[in-house]
Amino acid sequence: MILKGRDFIDLADFSREEINYLLQLAKELKAKQKAGIPHEILKGKNLAMIFQKSSTRTRVSFEVAMYQLGGLAMFLNKNDLQMGRGEPIEDTARVLARFSDGILIRTFSHQEVLDLARFSSVPVINGLTDDHHPTQVMADLLTIWEHKGTLAGLKIVYAGDGNNVAGSLLYGAALTDMEIVVASPEGYQPDPAVVRKAKKMAGDPEKIAVMSDLHKAVQDADILYTDVWASMGQEDEALKRRKDLEVYQINKEILARAKKDAIVLHCLPAHRGEEITVEVMEGPQSVVFDEAENRLHAHKAILAALL
């Protein structure tokens, strides 16, 4: 399957077959890395990485991924670039595309990624925006597949703020035949347009649901997923968000309502004691750090396929 030259901005831009191909490629590349088999298929390639938001997993995983694939990653924060002094995104896109084989951007506005891709002649990868986090969800899908042996037919419940991760997770579930329920209170639920699109992508709209009752949502769940209640840029709302979302915490009582073999995911960083308890995060059903490691392998697959 040929994905070379494509952008990776939104999971909804890809077919079921393409997502399955990327997951299979990630699994193969992970196996090679674990076996110590060199796979420098991007030797001589380089990736320009624009970061306008702080990062641990996205930055490190993409840097290591490029290194292990034989390429070079260049970290560029907003103070390193003329973008920080007002250079238009279209100029930055065209210049970086002359120097690089691909561009990763982690920023606030989703439109900024779309504009970057419009003017770039090389693939653009969305490392996170306020609307979507597709590279994270590829790692999530890989983790679920590894621990459950399948994706189709599973039920995943996302609890808390219906943020960028929830939006991409809705698309990811729809493309892999999973049932997904997003449990959030009014005012924190995912963008209705994203939900409608996910329902259309799923084929069976009954597989995509949004509700406010977490206790009801987690019945028969195979996977529980949560994220911080106040994302980057929402720090001023932290106190209000904690109050509004406190009943959406993933704790042992909520976990007990899911299937006995349910697994727990969190995209990190975690605010332990808020959206998830220490007991659950450090418990036997947590696969949080497998999920974090799989950022590396999922990102390798994206880079290998696009570049």
Catalytic machinery residues: 106, 133, 136, 227, 267, 295
Q: Angle at CA 10, nearest 5°, toward 7 and 11?
A: 105
DSSP 14: S
Tokens (6 digits) for 292 = 């974090």
Nearest-10 Cα torsion for 242, 180, 28, 11: -80
Instruction: List, in sequence order, every beta strand (DSSP E) within the chain.
Output: 46-51, 72-77, 102-106, 124-128, 155-159, 179-183, 208-211, 223-226, 263-266
**300 residue type, one letter:** K
Peptide bond preceding 269: is omega within 30 degrees of 0, i.e. cis?
Answer: yes
In 101-191, which ranges are continuous DSSP H helix? 110-119, 134-148, 164-175
